[in-house]
Structure 1
Amino acid sequence: MVSLIQSQNQHSAAVFTINHSQFHSLFLNVQILDAEQIRAWDQYTIQHEPISSIGLMERAAQQCVDWLLKEAWRNKHHLIFCGKGNNGGDGLAIARLLLQNQLPVSIYILEFGKIGRPDFQGNLQRLHDLPNADIHFVQSSTTLPTISENDIVIDALYGSGLNKPLDNLSAELVNHINQSNATIVSIDVPSGLFMDKSSVGNIAVKATYTLTFQCHKLALLMQENAPIIGEVTVLDIGLKKEFLATIETSSYLLDEKIIRNIFKPRHRFGHKGTYGHALIAGGSYGKMGAVVLATKACMRSGAGLTTAFIPKCGYNILQISAPEAMTIIDEEERLLSTLPDDIEKFAAIGIGPGMGTAPETQHLLSFFVRRYKKPLVIDADGLNNLALNTSWLQLLPPGSILTPHPKEFDRLFGNHVNDFARMETAQQKAKLYNIILVLKSHHTLIAFP
């Protein structure tokens, strides 16, 4: 199972628990659906509300227009670029609703000589019924319109059904839009962006804003797509929530509401002996800042007692910076080398920040891995030491938590060409080694075994 957690500023200590009975109800509304599942959700709503497909399209368009009307763009020229699929149908409906609100609008339809989808054709007819509809057809590079940087571009060329990279006239038009420096609003997903796989190297609209329907899409959560998606807003278009109970997915979006539901408040008679004793192992000459920060974070996150295992050179630094913490001092002056006695007494151990990758420190990590039977939390140089000794991965205590950023992840598991490949590897390795992988990013990926 994979969860993606959204970045939030957190200011309070928290302990989280969740059981299987809670899981289904809590995560039902935060499933990350693929393109096929979203199309099925549309159809479920059409059949069970009931509503016509063009009626559902109208509802989605109205949500987009409501959002657009809240912006200070009423006097700006809106250029709406449409393909001939359902995304283009959304664009035509948006154009009509904007015209009915007296906004200046021009419509540009990408033309390949084929009839559009039925709901596109239906909305095109409705648009033709307006006396002031300014409709153009883009048939070649010579018919690309002039776009001012003061214009508002609505991108409704290609949606979630895209299955191949853009080329020829489609690619020319998208490049033309990107070069305009105009404000670009993409409908559902930026044109050229795949929903469920990597789009690295492909031509895609570089949106200023993306108005996506009903739920987050995986592509809109990936770091590699940051230059494309802009600011993402999820618009509720009234798809029936009952559908979510009929499907299974392995990916979920962890949000503040879920965190608050699984938050475990502290007992008012609790004390430092109630909440466990944590050990933070790290630091080396010139890198004591990392273990100081980790020690402070450990205390802040709620550990009852915190001990820092550090080299001799860090003693004064740690005791002055975090006087609440206890210390165990290694016999070496500049690095960690010798396993402390009785490490099993610690309820949790975090290892790695600033510890370096000296041979002595690598051996120390191997002793931690072999001797400690509870889950370890391994970060930073702990991960780099593991990357130098990957056979130790199979020795990790079950449930251990590894917290790499993308470069550390690639050192551990090999180079990856995109974020989707890292996500797949994270799922595989979490299962293989019975560990939890926390791949850090703006949207952090958590892969469970």
Structure 2
Amino acid sequence: MKLPNALQMKELDVATIQEEEISSYDLMERAASQLASFIYTHFENKNRPVVIFCGPGNNGGDGLAVARKMSQHGYTQLQVFLFNTSQSLSEDCQTNMTRLQTECPNVTFTEITQQFEAPQLAANTLVIDALFGTGLGRPLGGGFAALVQFINASGTEVISIDMPSGLMSEDNTLNSPSAIVRATVTLTLGLPKLALILPDTQFFAGKVYVLPIGLSETKIAELQTPFQITEHAEMRALLRPRPAFGHKGTFGNGLLIAGRYGMAGAAVLAARACLRAGVGKVTIHTPTCNNDILQMAVPEAVLHHDTDERVFSKAIHSEAFQAVAIGPGIGTEKRTALALIEQVSHSALPLVIDADAINIFGSHKGWIAQIPQHSIFTPHPTEMKRLGICNNDSFSILLEAINLAKRHHFYIVLKGHYTAVCTPKGYVYFNPTGNSGMATAGSGDVLTGIILALLAQQYHQEAACRLGVYLHGLAGDLAAQERGEYALTASDLIDFLPQAFACLQQQESLPWSQRLGLDWGKHTK
């Protein structure tokens, strides 16, 4: 599913209008019908006080149309404020204002042209925010910022139409958090927007629903956007059948360089995940101190001992393998750092760089140029900041990951609630699977093992990243269904990998909306 920017949403509206030979007002009516239908279903109390704040543009026009439909549906306590301080309403907003006043005399309507006297918002009031949608290009200030602060201070439930007012569709780096509506529910129209899935801006949106309004499928297919949300059918198509006459050599030998004294668990988790993800054989290069633990915990693995008893200290030949993963639990000692750059810079195999290996390169940025193209990095946001130079906000960190991937021809798997797979061509695929129970020690080691297994089975790097994170999250979702998010451990993810593969082979996906607080187009009239 594509995530368009504000300009592209306007282009989609125009294309839909032209293709169907309808007016912009007809499309607004279609959107208002979907919005009102959602409210009828989820906010059924028709005697509840409802206050709708409308801006002068088409977002305000949506709000006015929703007010009319709610009134006609029997809602009895509707109060509408239309802010027209510049005496300049959009044409469709003007039409909806006239219709509301003409057709719904029981609605308390106030047009604000100068002074605004804020209404009393009782605790049970439902506020509908229809001030500004995707077209906003700068932070709110003045009276509108004060109105947003008033709404946020009220403590009432808030429905935002399309976007929480004050929140821009993508880049909110310079935005003012105090001037953004904090919605309980956001009903975004047609397609999701990037800001609705980034950690520090999704906070303002609350629970997000994408309402279909019949936008042109032809235009959506033509839309060139770097941002997409991965869909179940895509991943199902990527998963290859296993040859009936295959042997362990068919499914590859993955080299895992992991563990130091006190961190054998990282090697255990990554190796077990690799085996569960279908690899023919996994070889673990690790210090000798980890021998007994690994032999007992992962009897299927082959061990290759480092010359040092406690740390990874010497690069090894990798010609006999099909892919290499390096980093889980290796530490950041000087000997390990030198062995790492020697191992990586001479590698001709598909490569996964994780955990302490990322931290070493973050401390030695000059070494990054020696890493082979098409290598895969799997940083979480803090590790990503060490690799690059960026601000602390989610959008800046994402841009840094995109730029690093493009500049060095890497694949960056930026881990998070919506793990972002950034490709060398600048495309970003957000993963919809996974849950907060996976925010636990060892979860990243499991992901490294899964990606290593896919690479060893000759999956292309992009496919291995996208399929790997999808399976990883899917296993977490299946585990959470049975064991709950609070109690999840990294080992649970490995235990549920078989079910994840089985689920991926099915036609239908799990109901992600129940987990994410999102509904990508499931609500219909």
Same fold (TM over 0.5): yes
SS at match of 2:154: coil
Q: Does 1:106 align with 2:79?
A: yes
Q: Which has the higher contact order (CA 8 A, sep 6+)?
A: 1
Gaps of 5+ in 1: 1-29
For residue 298 of structure 1, what is the aligned residue in structure 2?
Answer: 274
Residues 12-51 of structure 1 correspond to what in structure 2 (within 5 A)? 30-51=1-22
For residue 278 of structure 1, what is the aligned residue in structure 2?
Answer: 254
Whether the aligned pair in 1 keeps the contact of 2:87 and 2:113 (CA below 8 Å) is no
Supply the distance in 1 between the matched residues of 2:79 and 2:59 (Cα, whole angstroms). 17
Residues 57-96 of structure 1 correspond to what in structure 2 (within 5 A)? 57-75=28-46, 76-96=48-68
Supply the distance in 2 between the matched residues of 1:204 and 1:380 (Cα, whole angstroms). 35
For residue 136 of structure 1, what is the aligned residue in structure 2?
Answer: 110
Match of 1:392 among 363, 367, 370: 367
Whether the aligned pair in 2 keeps the contact of 1:138 and 1:144 (CA below 8 Å) is no
For residue 115 of structure 1, what is the aligned residue in structure 2?
Answer: 88
Seen in structure 2, the aligned counterparts of structure 1 residues 150 and 318 have a Cα distance that, compared at 3 Å, is farther
Deviation track 1:148-170 (CA, whole Å, cap 9, x = no partner) reads 23222111110111111111111
Q: Does 1:307 align with 2:283?
A: yes
Whether the aligned pair in 1 keeps the contact of 2:4 and 2:193 (CA below 8 Å) is yes
Deviation track 1:85-144 (CA, whole Å, cap 9, x = no partner) reads 100000011111111111132212224141311100100111001121111345678611
Supply the distance in 2 between the matched residues of 1:270 and 1:166 (Cα, whole angstroms). 61
For residue 380 of structure 2, what is the aligned residue in structure 1?
Answer: 405
**For residue 103 of structure 1, what is the amino acid of its counterpart?**
Y
For residue 124 of structure 1, what is the aligned residue in structure 2?
Answer: 97
Seen in structure 2, the aligned counterparts of structure 1 residues 100 and 278 have a Cα distance that, compared at 3 Å, is same
Shift in Å, 1:437: 1.0
Q: Does 1:204 align with 2:177?
A: no
Q: Does 1:432 align with 2:403?
A: no
Shift in Å, 1:244: 2.7
For residue 519 of structure 2, what is the aligned residue in structure 1?
Answer: none
Whether the aligned pair in 1 keeps the contact of 2:133 and 2:162 (CA below 8 Å) is yes
Q: Does 1:177 align with 2:151?
A: yes
**For residue 423 of structure 1, what is the amino acid of its counterpart?**
L
Residues 192-341 of structure 1 correspond to what in structure 2 (within 5 A)? 192-199=166-173, 200-202=175-177, 203-340=179-316
Supply the distance in 1 between the matched residues of 2:143 and 2:109 (Cα, whole angstroms). 18
Shift in Å, 1:205: 0.5
Whether the aligned pair in 1 keeps the contact of 2:389 and 2:400 (CA below 8 Å) is no
SS at match of 1:343: coil
Shift in Å, 1:371: 2.2
**For residue 8 of structure 2, what is the amino acid of its counterpart?**
Q
Seen in structure 2, the aligned counterparts of structure 1 residues 305 and 141 have a Cα distance that, compared at 3 Å, is farther
**For residue 91 of structure 1, what is the amino acid of its counterpart?**
G
**For residue 283 of structure 1, what is the amino acid of its counterpart?**
G
Supply the distance in 2 between the matched residues of 1:437 and 1:60 (Cα, whole angstroms). 37
Gaps of 5+ in 2: 425-525
Seen in structure 2, the aligned counterparts of structure 1 residues 148 and 73 have a Cα distance that, compared at 3 Å, is farther
Whether the aligned pair in 2 keeps the contact of 1:80 and 1:106 (CA below 8 Å) is yes
Whether the aligned pair in 2 keeps the contact of 1:375 and 1:398 (CA below 8 Å) is no
Aligned-CA RMSD value: 1.7
Supply the distance in 1 between the matched residues of 2:404 and 2:146 (Cα, whole angstroms). 41
Q: Does 1:348 align with 2:319?
A: no
Supply the distance in 2 between the matched residues of 1:151 and 1:307 (Cα, whole angstroms). 62
Supply the distance in 2 between the matched residues of 1:193 and 1:238 (Cα, whole angstroms). 24
Supply the distance in 2 between the matched residues of 1:308 and 1:138 (Cα, whole angstroms). 70
Whether the aligned pair in 1 keeps the contact of 2:2 and 2:228 (CA below 8 Å) is yes
Shift in Å, 1:40: 0.9
Shift in Å, 1:384: 0.5
Whether the aligned pair in 2 keeps the contact of 1:330 and 1:338 (CA below 8 Å) is yes
Supply the distance in 2 between the matched residues of 1:410 and 1:441 (Cα, whole angstroms). 14
Shift in Å, 1:390: 1.6
Supply the distance in 1 between the matched residues of 2:366 and 2:310 (Cα, whole angstroms). 27
Shift in Å, 1:415: 3.3
Shift in Å, 1:314: 1.8
Number of aligned residue pairs:
419
Whether the aligned pair in 1 keeps the contact of 2:129 and 2:158 (CA below 8 Å) is yes
SS at match of 2:27: helix
Shift in Å, 1:54: 0.9
Which range moves more in the overlay, 33-42 or 70-79?
A: 70-79
Whether the aligned pair in 2 keeps the contact of 1:387 and 1:411 (CA below 8 Å) is yes
SS at match of 1:377: strand
Supply the distance in 2 between the matched residues of 1:131 and 1:334 (Cα, whole angstroms). 80
Whether the aligned pair in 1 keeps the contact of 2:379 and 2:415 (CA below 8 Å) is yes
**For residue 50 of structure 2, what is the amino acid of its counterpart?**
H
**For residue 346 of structure 1, what is the amino acid of its counterpart?**
F
Supply the distance in 1 between the matched residues of 2:296 and 2:245 (Cα, whole angstroms). 30
Supply the distance in 1 between the matched residues of 2:32 and 2:394 (Cα, whole angstroms). 31
Supply the distance in 2 between the matched residues of 1:292 and 1:277 (Cα, whole angstroms). 16
Supply the distance in 2 between the matched residues of 1:239 and 1:40 (Cα, whole angstroms). 10
Whether the aligned pair in 2 keeps the contact of 1:287 and 1:355 (CA below 8 Å) is yes
